[in-house]
Structure 1
C-alpha cells in the first residue's frame, strides 16, 4: 500500500453502475430472504478493484443522503427528469453502507448536500497531507483536479480508468479544471436537467473559454462576440447564471472528519464473515484476492 494515498470512492456511482451492469439480464441475485444483491455484487467488483489498482493507505466512501439538496431549492427542475430508483435497488442502499462499514471504511454523507460536495470538501481538506484519488463515473468531479488531487473516471469494464491530474488535464480536456464549472454553465447538463445556453454545445463552449477564460470575462467583453452569441447571452442570461451555480461542487460542507478513521485495515476475516453471513456471497475469492497484499 502507498503511504499517504487517500482514496475517495463515490459510493452512489459504483452502486448504480453495478446495478445496471447486471440488472439488464433480469438477474437480481436474490438471497434467502428475497433481497436483491446484484448492485452489491457490482459494487464489490468496482470497490475492491479500486483498492487493488490505487493501493491506498486510507479509504473513504461518500454517499448522497436523499434526493433533495440545496440545488433543488435553487432550481426546481434540478434532476426532475430522473425517475425513482428501481425497486430492486432500494434495499441495496443501506446494505451497501453496511458493506463499506464491514471493510472498516467510513461512510460520509450530509443531508442537504450531494456526495460530490462531500467528496470535494474532503479532497480539499486533506490534499496537503495526502495524495488524493477520487474514483467515480461522474465527470462533474473533474473540476476538483488540483495539486495532490486526481480523478479516476471509470470506463467500460472493471479495472479500466482514465485518470485526470494537474499534469495531463489540459492535454485531455483543452481546459483547466477550474474552467469545468463555466463549461457546464454554458452547455447546461441534460442528465441533471439544467439548461445552460440553448444551442451551445461542448465544442462552442470550449472555444469560448479558450478565448475568454471565464464566463465573467466573456460577459464583460460581449461586444466582441458575434451578434448571434450576444443575443443568446441576453436571452439566456438567467439560465447561464443558475447553471453555473448548479454545476459548482461545494468544498466547504460542514463535515467533522479525522483521517485516522479512514486508515485501510484490510481485515479479511471480518470482510469474509460479512460477505458470507450477511450477504450470502459464498464464493468470495474474486474479491479477497484483490485485497491480499501478496497478490496485489
Structure 2
C-alpha cells in the first residue's frame, strides 16, 4: 500500500522540528462519532466525503509509527481534534501560566486560541510560519477573543456553517471592531443602519447558533498525558523504528532530511 499521506506527514513534522527546539509534543486526531455540533446543526460537515479506506489505513499506520517512535498522540471518541487542543491548552495554561504553545494547524477556527502564550504555526507562502497574537491584531484590528463572533456572522463554508447573506468580511470586521461580540451587536442593533439592522435581526437565531458551533470546547476531561509529551528532535531523528519504516517504504528523501 502506498504511504503518500505518511510521507507528507513526516516531511511536515521534520520541517517544523528542525527550526525549533521543542521540548514537548502532542499530536491530536479526530475521534469520529458524533458530538454536540451535529445535534445543533445536522448538516455540520455533511458536505465532506467519508474517509477512503486507504487513507484510513494510512492514518492507523501513522498512529502506530508515532507510538513506536515515542510521540504521544491523543484521540477520544466523539471529540474533534480542535477541541482536544483547546482543552489541553486551556487546562495546562491554568496549571502553569508560563507555558508557551505553538499549534500547527490549517484550521482557522484555532485562531480563537491565540494569546501572548499561544501561537499558530501555519503555512504562509509555502513555509511553516509562526503567526502570533500581535500578527492577528494587526491583520484584523480586533483581538482573537472576538474571532468566534466574526465567524458567527460570516459562517464557515469548510464546516458547512451558513453565515448572514449580505454581510461579508468587510462589514463583519467593522461590526466586530465596534462591538467586540455578537451579543453586544444585538444590544445596540437598533442603532445600526436599516439594511444591516434588518439582516442581523432576521438572522439572530442563526448567528447565536453559529457562535455555539464555532466556539471550541475547553473543558473536555483529558487523560493525564502531559509528562508523556516529552520530545527530543535529536533522539527522534535517530530512532531505529523511524529509520526502518522509512527504509521499508523507500522514503529516501526523508532519510536525507533526518541526516
The answer to whether TM tops 0.5 is yes
Q: Which has the higher helix share?
A: 2
Q: What residue in structure 1 maps to residue 61 of structure 2?
A: 95
Supply the RMSD in Å over aligned alpha carbons. Answer: 1.8
Among candidates 94, 106, 127, match of residue 137 of structure 1? 106
Matched, 1:54 2:25: no
Q: What residue in structure 1 maps to residue 36 of structure 2?
A: 70
1:89-137 CA-partner distances (Å, limit 9, x unpaired): 2211101111222331111122112100011111122232521100111
2:30 and 2:169 map into 1 onto residues whose CA distance is 27
1:207-253 CA-partner distances (Å, limit 9, x unpaired): 10111111111100011111111211221111111111111111111
Among candidates 220, 237, 240, match of residue 253 of structure 1? 220
Q: Secondary structure at the match of 1:46?
A: helix
In the TM superposition, residue 156 of structure 1 has moved relative to its aligned partner by 4.8
Q: Secondary structure at the match of 1:168?
A: helix
Q: Would the aligned equivalents of 2:123 and 2:129 in 1 still touch at CA under 8 Å?
A: yes
Question: What is the number of residues matched between the two proteins?
Answer: 252
Q: Would the aligned equivalents of 2:148 and 2:215 in 1 still touch at CA under 8 Å?
A: yes
In the TM superposition, residue 87 of structure 1 has moved relative to its aligned partner by 4.2
Q: What residue in structure 2 maps to residue 188 of structure 1?
A: 155
Moved more, 76-85 or 180-189: 76-85
Q: Would the aligned equivalents of 1:36 and 1:89 in 2 still touch at CA under 8 Å?
A: no
Q: What residue in structure 2 maps to residue 211 of structure 1?
A: 178
1:56-105 CA-partner distances (Å, limit 9, x unpaired): 00111011011533211221010111112244322111011112223311
Q: Could you say which structure has the greater relative contact order, defined with CA pairs below 8 angstroms and 6 or more residues apart?
A: 2
1:170 and 1:155 map into 2 onto residues whose CA distance is 17
2:169 and 2:64 map into 1 onto residues whose CA distance is 40
2:18 and 2:35 map into 1 onto residues whose CA distance is 33
Equivalent residues in 2 for 1:171-182, closer than 5 Å: 171-182=138-149
Q: Secondary structure at the match of 1:167?
A: helix
Q: Would the aligned equivalents of 1:79 and 1:191 in 2 still touch at CA under 8 Å?
A: yes
1:161 and 1:172 map into 2 onto residues whose CA distance is 18
Matched, 1:168 2:138: no
Task: Specify every segment of 5 or more residues in structure 2 that has no aligned partner in the other structure, as ranges.
Answer: none
Q: Would the aligned equivalents of 1:70 and 1:113 in 2 still touch at CA under 8 Å?
A: no
TM-score by length of 1: 0.80
Matched, 1:116 2:82: yes
